[in-house]
Amino acid sequence: MSTSVNSTPVNEKDEQVFQDLKLLNAVNDRYGGVIVEVREAMDSALFGSVLRASIAQWRHQGKKGVWIKLPIQHVNLVEAAVKEGFWFHHAESNYLMLCYWIPEGTHTLPANASHRIGISAFVMNEKREVLVVQESTGRFQGTSVWKFPTGVVNEGEDICAAAVREVKEETAVDTKFIEILAFRQSHKALFDKSDIFFLCLLEPLSSEVQKQETEIEAAKWMPFEEYKAQPFVQKHELLKYIVDICLAKKDGNYSGFSPVPTTSAFSDEKNFMYFNTTDLNGQ
Amino acid sequence: MSTSVNSTPVNEKDEQVFQDLKLLNAVNDRYGGVIVEVREAMDSALFGSVLRASIAQWRHQGKKGVWIKLPIQHVNLVEAAVKEGFWFHHAESNYLMLCYWIPEGTHTLPANASHRIGISAFVMNEKREVLVVQESTGRFQGTSVWKFPTGVVNEGEDICAAAVREVKEETAVDTKFIEILAFRQSHKALFDKSDIFFLCLLEPLSSEVQKQETEIEAAKWMPFEEYKAQPFVQKHELLKYIVDICLAKKDGNYSGFSPVPTTSAFSDEKNFMYFNTTDLNGQ
C-alpha cells in the first residue's frame, strides 16, 4: 500500500485542480483489485468527483475490489467515499480502511482479524501451591473468586511471551514458559469477536508475590486443593476440565504442545510452532 | 450497547433543539467508562456541540473511556467526533467505533481482535495418498506447488467446522474432523494482524475430487512420498516439521488435541475445548 493521490496540491482554483486530478493513483493487489492510500489533504467534494471517475476507469479495466486507506487526519473524506458506495472494512487508531466491489455479485474480499487471543497461566510451586489472583474490574469484580492469572495476547506478541508477561505484571512472579496444555475457542466475545484462550503451563523462577495495583485486588500462592474446592471451580465444566488437565500434567503423563522456533515459507522471520514434542521426539 | 441520542428529532430550529439535546445518552460499561450508540440522524455541528458538553459532564463524573458506536448511515458525524479528540477503535462493514480517554495518562481501553485464524487440512486415504490442491490466486499462483487445502476460520465459526468446510469447498471431499496436530503463530500478516494456523487431521468420508472453480487451479490425491519430495516442501523448515508430524501421527504414536464440547463459565453456550484426550483419558 504505497500509492498516493496525485501530488498537485489542492488550492483555491478547484476547477483547475479537478482537471489535473482526474484519477486517484492506485497500486494493484494480488487478487485483481486496487489499493489507494490517501496521503494528502483534499477537498471532500473534489475527492468524491475524482473517486467516481476513478471507479469508472477501474471498472473499464476489469478491476474487482477497491481499497481506500484513509489516515485519520483526512477524516473529512470518509463521508464522500461512503456516498460513492464504499463501506467500512476495518479501522486502527490512526486510519480507516474502506472498500468497494466493482463486479456483479457477492464480494470475495478477505475479512479482517476475527479473534482475540488470551492466556490463562497455570503456575505451581514445589509445595503444590498454585499462583492465583482476584480481579478488581470486569466480570470477576467483587466475586472473591481466586483464578489463574489471565490476559490478552497483543497483536504481534508470541503466546509464550504473553503468558510470562501477564504473570509478571499481575503478580511480579518470574516464570519460564513450558507448554500449552489446552485451548478453548468461544464466540460473540468482546465487540462480537471470537476468542481463543490458551491454558499455559509455566514454571516459577521466583516466589515473592506483589499484586498489580490497578486491575488486581489480591494475589497469592494457594494450595491447589483449596483452588479446586472453590464453588465457582466445582460448578463449571470448563474449569473442571482445566483442573483435571493440570493434575494430569503434574501427577500423570500428559503432553501438551511446546513452542519450537521455525522460519516461515515466505520470510526468514522466526515464529513459534507449537506441537507435541514429547511424542514427536519419542518416535 | 443500547443507548441512543435523546429522541428529540433534529429540525430547522437548531437553537431550540440544542437546548433540548444538551447531552448524549450513554450507558455505563464495567470499566468506569460510557458507551454511546448513535441511533438517529443529526446535524454534524450540533453533534459536535452536544458531544463537547457531554464529555465535560462525564469528566465531572470521573468517567474514563468513552465509546461512540456510529452506524455507517450516520457517517456525517465521524469528522465532528475526531475534531473533539476521538480516534478510531475498530470498524465493521456497517459501523465505526470511536473512542476517547478522559483521565490523564495512557488509556487502558481493550484492543480489538488481533488475530486471523486459519486451518491447513491433512487428509490421507487408505492408499497413503494425501489430498492436495494448487491455488489459482495469491502467493502460490503459478508456482505448481501442491499443498494441503487451507482456509480462513470465519468469525463465529468453530475451527473443527471450518476445516471440514474448507476441504469440502476446495475439493468436494467429505471429511470427519479428528484432531489438531500442531499450530503456528506468525505476525505482520494481512492488514498487519497476527495469524495462527492450525494443522488439522481429518479422515476422508468420500474419495471423488472436484476442484472449486474460482480459487483452485487443480485438486487431487497424491502419494504422500511425492508430496514430501516437492522442492518447496523440502526447502522449508515449517513444512518439514509438518511432514514429520503427519508421519508420526500415521505411523507412530503422536497425540494432538481433540475437540470436546464444554459450556463456558458465563453462558450455557457450547464451545469446543481442545486438549490431549489420549493422555487425559489414559490416566
The Cα B115–Cα B193 span in angstroms is 6
Residue B220 pLDDT: 97
Comparing CB atoms, the residue among B116, B157, B241 nearest residue A113 is: B116
Which DSSP string corresponds to B132-195? EEEESSSTTTTS---B--EEEPPTT--HHHHHHHHHHHHH---EEEEEEEEEEEESS-GGG-EE
Beta bridge partners of A283: none
How distant, in Å, are the alpha carbons of A34, A79, A81, B9, B119 from that of A75?
Answer: 21, 8, 11, 26, 37
The Cα B130–Cα B127 span in angstroms is 9
pLDDT digits (tens, 9 = 90+) for A58-116: 999 999 999 999 999 999 999 999 999 999 999 999 999 999 999 998 998 988 899 99
Chain B contact present for A239, CB below 8 A: yes
| Subunit contact A273:B184, Cβ cutoff 8 A | yes
Q: How far does B222 lie from chain A, in Å, by closest CA?
A: 21
Residue A11 pLDDT: 44
For residue A254, the chain B residue with the least C-alpha distance is: B279
Contact A122, A89 (CB under 8 A): no
Comparing CB atoms, the residue among B31, B88, B187 nearest residue A92 is: B88
Which DSSP string corresponds to A147-178? B--EEEPPTT--HHHHHHHHHHHHH---EEEE
In sequence order, the 6+-apart residues with CB closer than 8 A to the CB of B114 are: A113, A115, A116, A117, A152, A153, A154, A155, A156, B193, B194
| Subunit contact A138:B89, Cβ cutoff 8 A | no
Chain A contact present for B257, CB below 8 A: yes
DSSP 8-state secondary structure symbol assigned to residue B72: G
Type of residue numbered A158: D
Residue B15 pLDDT: 44
Active site residue B169: yes
State the catalytic residue, choosing from B169, B203, B225, B226. Answer: B169
Q: How far does B232 lie from chain A, in Å, by closest CA?
A: 8
Task: Give the three cell numbers for residue B108.
Answer: 487502558
Residue B207 pLDDT: 95
Chain A contact present for B254, CB below 8 A: yes
Closest by Cα among A110, A154, A155 to B154: A110
Comparing CB atoms, the residue among A75, A116, A262 nearest residue B114 is: A116
pTM, rounded to two decimals: 0.86
Domains and their CATH numbers in chain A? 22-101 (3.40.630.30), 115-275 (3.90.79.10)
Task: Give the three cell numbers for residue B65.
Answer: 473511556
| Subunit contact A196:B192, Cβ cutoff 8 A | no
Chain B contact present for A118, CB below 8 A: no
pLDDT-flagged residues of chain A (< 70): 1-21, 265-266, 283
Q: What is the ipTM of this complex?
A: 0.86
Q: How far does A169 lie from chain B, in Å, by closest CA?
A: 14
Contacts of A74 in chain B (CB under 8 A): none
Q: What's the whole-number average pLDDT of chain B?
A: 89
For chain B, how big is the Rg over CA atoms in Å? 26
Contacts of B105 in chain A (CB under 8 A): none
Contacts of B245 in chain A (CB under 8 A): 275, 280
Contacts of A32 in chain B (CB under 8 A): 137
Residue A12 pLDDT: 46
How distant, in Å, are the alpha carbons of A257, A280, B234 from that of B240?
Answer: 17, 13, 6
Chain B contact present for A41, CB below 8 A: no
* Alpha-carbon dihedral sign for residues B7, B11, B16, B21: positive
In sequence order, the 6+-apart residues with CB closer than 8 A to the CB of B142 are: none
Contacts of B185 in chain A (CB under 8 A): 158-159, 271-272, 274
The Cα A196–Cα A179 span in angstroms is 16
In sequence order, the 6+-apart residues with CB closer than 8 A to the CB of B283 are: A248, A252, A253, A254
Task: Give the three cell numbers for residue A100.
Answer: 468497494
Contacts of A185 in chain B (CB under 8 A): 158-159, 271-272, 274
Task: Give the three cell numbers for residue A151.
Answer: 490476559
Chain A contact present for B107, CB below 8 A: no
For residue A87, the chain B residue with the least C-alpha distance is: B93
pLDDT-flagged residues of chain B (< 70): 1-21, 265-266, 283
Surface of A (61-90) touching B: CB under 8 A: 72, 75-76, 78-79, 82, 87-90
Chain B contact present for A162, CB below 8 A: no
Comparing CB atoms, the residue among B88, B89, B193 nearest residue A155 is: B193
Chain B contact present for A11, CB below 8 A: no
